[in-house]
Structure 1
Amino acid sequence: MTTLSREEIDRYKRHLLVKDIGGQGQQRLKAARVLVVGAGGLGSPLLMYLAAAGVGTLGIIDDDRVSLDNLQRQVAYRTEDVGEPKVERAASLLRSLNPHVEVEAMPFRLTSENALSVVSRYDIVADGSDNFATRYLVNDTCYFARKPLVFAALGQMEGYLSTFRAFETDDKGTPRPSYRDLFPEPPAPGEIPTCEEAGVLGPVAGVIGTLQAVEVAKMILGLEGTLVGRLLIYDALACRFQTIALKWDANNPLTGLRPTIRDLSVHAAGASG
């Protein structure tokens, strides 16, 4: 087990006092490797809290650059960062926030060609991407790589969060649900507007990104009550949370009885990021 230095013990002492974390839990956090897909509105609070919590290695993949209209919700960046690669600025922030965290910055797109090699290097994947192509690619890659996926998405005034472990079965032998049980196929182009097209209240990204960090930490610590098989929905206008059950669909093209997706070649038509 990874040991903690005296400086780390001082840094994480509020964690060490929590009975469900303690020294062993903090060592698990330090030993963990987490990949964050997307360094935007969700990725900003997610990365900052995971780094502050002492997750030992954080991978960031995003090929975008900071723009002025990002700053309303992407709190990892400053006005002077406009025009700079997001992963480089985010990595710099995380290293200053916690020098004990190793940051692996990947300023390129996740594609069907590189996804398995990237994802396989990490213990858990957290998807904060903002487009359906990437969400399906990440979901399918995590299934084939047998990696837990903590998924989050935003609407204008709402957010969604779940954890997928579709490579496992439940106590009845039924496959656990994946993103494709929630949305078997991508919506038609233009059917659901993107964040860029529809907009989003900035703090909603902070709420969901922070909850995503909590879910990742719970997975690392082996705590009960994760969102496997459940979808958490946050309604900011009503100030209300609700959780709905997700079920495996026997017609799921990835994990169903007659799967049609057997590798990542289905994603080769277009790159995702």
Structure 2
Amino acid sequence: MADLSDAELDRYARQLILKELGGAGQQRLKAARVALVGMGGLGCPAALYLAAAGVGALTLIDDDVVSLDNLQRQILYTVDDIGRPKVEAAAARLAALNPHVALHPVAARLDTDNAPSLLEGHDLILDGSDSFATRLRVNAAAVALGIPLVSGAIGAFDGQVAVFAGHLPQAPCYQCFTGPAIDRPGVSCADQGVLGPTAGIIGAFMAQEALRALTGFGAGQTGQLMIHDGLSGRMRRAACPKDPGCSVCGAACGLSGAAISR
């Protein structure tokens, strides 16, 4: 278990006094490696909270550059970052927040071919991408690699977060939730708009579920979908049952290209 320095003991003092977390939990966070897919509206707040909490290593995956219309909700960036690769700007901001976190920016779009190599070796994956096809690829890789997945999505005033562990026999994966991997049009924030704080709310929930999964505090949320209705201000929870016939997690799945591309 990773030892905590005097500076880290001071930095994380408010977490260390939580009996559900304590020194052992903080050490688990320091030893953890988390991959974030998408450094947009969800990835920004999630990364800030994970870095602030002391997760030992963060891999930031995104091929986009910062644009002016990102700044309404992507809170890691400033006007000085416009035109800069998001992962580069994000890594610089997170390093300034917490120098104890190892940051690995990857300026690439996750696809069928690179998903296994980009995600392998991590303890947890956070998917904040805005592409349905990318979410399916991330899920298939997570199942094949045996890595828990925290998935978030937002649109307009609404958002949702779910935790999947499709590599476990009784746990659902993301595709159990969405159904068969048919072609379906993606709907982005550019199409339907999004309220900035909605991204913050869901990104923060994603970070909380990641910290819960990494340290084990509280009740497990695997297979539970949390739904935020920003117009009413209400939150509700729904169960995500496992699909025994799921083409991704319904049977043993190795690191084959077919498994990753479903």
Query: CA 1:83/1:21 → structure 2, altered by over 3 Å: closer, same or farther?
Result: same
CA apart distance, 1:189: 4.2
Where 1:241 maps in the other structure, the secondary structure is strand
| Structure 2 counterpart of 1:35 | 35
Identity %: 43
What's the RMSD between the two structures over aligned residues? 1.9
1:100-115 alignment, distance < 5 Å:
100-115=100-115
Task: Tell me the TM-score normalized by structure 2.
Answer: 0.95
* Code of the aligned partner of 1:181: C
| Structure 2 counterpart of 1:209 | 203
Q: Which runs of 5+ in 1 are unaligned?
A: 170-174
Task: Tell me the TM-score normalized by structure 1.
Answer: 0.91
* Code of the aligned partner of 2:92: S
CA apart distance, 1:268: 5.8
Query: CA 1:26/1:264 → structure 2, altered by over 3 Å: closer, same or farther?
Result: same
| Structure 2 counterpart of 1:77 | 77
| Structure 2 counterpart of 1:172 | none
Q: Which runs of 5+ in 2 are unaligned?
A: none
* Code of the aligned partner of 2:244: A
Alpha-carbon distance in 1 for matches of 2:221, 2:257: 26
CA contact (8 A) 2:116 2:255 kept: no
Correspondence 1:265 to 2:238: no
Alpha-carbon distance in 2 for matches of 1:240, 1:119: 34
Structure 1's consecutive aligned runs of 4 or more residues displaced over 2 angstroms after TM superposition are 185-190, 259-269
Correspondence 1:180 to 2:172: no
Correspondence 1:88 to 2:83: no
Cα-to-partner distance string for 1:89-140 (whole Å, 9 max, x where unaligned): 0000000000000000100111211111121121100001001011000000
| Structure 2 counterpart of 1:140 | 140
Alpha-carbon distance in 2 for matches of 1:189, 1:229: 23
In the alignment of these two chains, the number of paired residues is 262
CA apart distance, 1:185: 3.0
* Code of the aligned partner of 2:69: D
Alpha-carbon distance in 2 for matches of 1:134, 1:160: 17
Cα-to-partner distance string for 1:15-61 (whole Å, 9 max, x where unaligned): 11111111111111111000000000000000000000000000000
